[in-house]
Amino acid sequence: MPSEIAHFLIFGYEIENFPGRGIIEAIGEGIEVDDSDVAVLCHLCSVEERNNNLILRHGRPELHHAQSLILKDEIKTFEEDGIQINLIHSRGIDGFLLLKGGVSGHITDSDPIHEGRAVIEVMPIVQKRMTDASRKTASVLNRYLIWCHQKLSSHRINKERMAANVLPVNALVTQRAGKKRRLAPFKEKWGLRGLSISSGAIYWGLCHGLGIDTVKVRDTGSVEDDLKDRLRVAKDARDYDFIHVHTKMPDEAGHTKNPWYKKEVIEAIDRAMSIAVNEIIPDTEVLLVVTADHSTASSGSMIHTGETVPLTMVGKYVRRDKVGEFNEISGAGGGLGIVRGKELMYLILNFLDRAKLRGLMDTPVDQPYYPGNYKPLKL
């Protein structure tokens, strides 16, 4: 799982309703997006022409900020067959493509990710029932990507790089198209007013779409201090029923493929959790849940891996089992069992003493919490 889909499941939503990372990250970055627009993640890269294909040489080349802006400006706008494509800068070599004009988000990626592989032809997604809009969107996006390669290859910045025996930054690749979807607000779905204390546009954008308030924080480089500060904010957030406290650092450490660095990060998080142990758990009205959104291995070529993650819950209604350590192996033998998808939210309602007895209906829509936002009988 990537973080955005894993969080979508953690918050209790069905995977088939996920709107796409491109759209939620664009919204998280504050980009204005219309309901009919498609947002796609994109970034500059280095390719070479071989056998009429574009072969990825360097997926994420180093490039000065000013040069990145200049190259992006060169391929900023494109229009064909009534579809408009606008490239919006985010940071470094990264950006967003905003597609307008009868477009579909049901298209494949063009980024092959692994160097030495050919850039992928964008195609309609078969499982999403191919439409004229998805075919047209894919076709125009392919022509735009070819045009980008032609424009960037002839740019003076890349001619200078090649003269200096440095790989040119001469292509754009895309990932994870998305389009807005109507989703039940978190408060309406689970009866809990939600708050997220997190850093990163994907969490801010996802929470915005689900009606979860956000406290936008930044990673300072001190894993322990950052998490302690976020836990203190959570402790004082008395107007909320469900508070999501997030740190991205174990994931970032895993991506370095350095297990010793990941060990340091986990130890820093352990120290920061003293705030939870000493200041939050003593409040018997609080249910503390500790888990991860996915595994990030410190070896191998996969971006994330698919093993189960540990989960612990502490609260006055939670059964106490005999597991004494919080890790992937020990946790699997605990009293919670193996939890999948939105089962987590049902467990949370159960251990908050808020779950509804099946069959009771106090609202027209069958909700899992009790009491619901019912309509009183008027005399």
Please count the other Cβ atoms lying within 10 Å of the Cβ belonging to residue 284: 9
Rounded Cα–Cα distance for residues 162 and 144 (Å) = 24
- Which position has the higher pLDDT, 369 or 127? 369
- In this predicted structure, what is the pLDDT of residue 157? 96
Nearest to 3 by CA among 361, 295, 301: 295
**What is the residue whose two structure tokens read 């959790």?**
273
Return the percentage of the chain with pLDDT > 70, whole number. 99
Residue 70 phi/psi, 5-degree rounding, is: -65, -45
- In this predicted structure, what is the pLDDT of residue 129? 66
pLDDT for 29-46, tens place per residue? 999 999 999 999 999 999
Rounded Cα–Cα distance for residues 176 and 344 (Å) = 26
Q: Please, what are the domains in the chain?
A: 20-178 (no CATH), 186-351 (3.40.720.10)
Inter-residue contact 116 to 82 (CB < 8 Å): no
- In this predicted structure, what is the pLDDT of residue 21? 95
Say if residue 274's pLDDT is above 70: yes
pTM: 0.91
- In this predicted structure, what is the pLDDT of residue 344? 96
- In this predicted structure, what is the pLDDT of residue 301? 86
| DSSP letter assigned to residue 376 | P
* List of residues 6+ apart from 33 with CB closer than 8 A: 23, 26, 27, 39, 98, 180
SS3 state at 351: helix
Q: What is the distance in angstroms between the CA of the first residue and the CA of the last residue of the chain? A: 52
Q: How confident is the model at residue 277 (pLDDT cuts 50, 70, 90)?
A: very high
Inter-residue contact 229 to 245 (CB < 8 Å): no
50 bridge partner residues: 53
Nearest to 7 by CA among 323, 298, 242: 242
